[in-house]
Every structure is written in structure tokens, then in C-alpha cells.
Amino acid sequence: MSLSSDDIHKIAHLARLAVDEAEIAPLQRDLSNILGLVEQMQAVDTSQVEPMAHPLEMPQRLRPDEVTETNQRERYLRNAPAAENGLFLVPKVIE
């Protein structure tokens, strides 16, 4: 399995990572090597195997739909890179 430079650009965009041109070739090599390792799985027939979604094969627990947390907006905004009037600030999205 080998990835082209276009593949790397496409995946990086999906992952919202900026990639310099200088990083493309090493990433192509490393990711292709990792996919080569992963490829070993294809040798085994799993057509009759139920995929394992949870290590203990347990269903997800549900809880009553009740309010359990109090509002701590100021506290949680303290780690925000930019906040104002209780809101997170981002560059203008709508012209």
C-alpha cells in the first residue's frame, strides 16, 4: 500500500492539519510503511466474524435524563485562547 502526495494532502485536509511540502515525502514513506504493517490483516478470512465493538461486549449504559451539572461557564472559558462576553471568539465566519 503506498500513498501518493495527493492522498496525503487530502487526508491532511480531512484531519484539519496543515502540512508543509517538505513533510510530504517523509509522511508518504511513514504512512505507507504503517499501512503495510496493517495490511497483514487482509490475509485472514473474517467474513463470518462479528466485529467487536466493545472489549467487554457490553451495551452502553443509559442514565436518567436529569440535570446533574451546574453552569460553570466562566471557569471553563478560562482556558480559551480568546473569549469575550461568555463566548469563544473565532475569525469571522459569515460575511
Instruction: Give the binding site for other proteins (CB under 8 A).
Output: 3, 7-8, 11-12, 14-19, 27, 30-31, 33-42, 44, 46, 49-56, 58, 60-61, 63, 72, 75-76, 78-82, 88, 90-93
CB of 21 to other proteins, least distance (A): 13
Nearer to other proteins, 67 or 93 (CB): 93
Minimum distance, C-beta of residue 35 to other proteins, in the bound complex (Å): 7
The residues near 41 (Cβ < 8 Å, ≥ 6 apart) are none
CA–CA gap between residue 20 and residue 5 (Å, rounded): 11
In angstroms, give the least distance from the CB of 52 to other proteins: 4
Q: Check: CB of residue 40 under 8 Å from CB of residue 17.
A: no
Residue 65 C-alpha cell reads as 435524563
81 grid coordinates = 485562547
Smallest gap, in angstroms, from Cβ of residue 18 to other proteins?
Answer: 4
Nearer to other proteins, 55 or 86 (CB): 55
Nearest to 8, CA basis, from 81, 42, 18, 80: 18
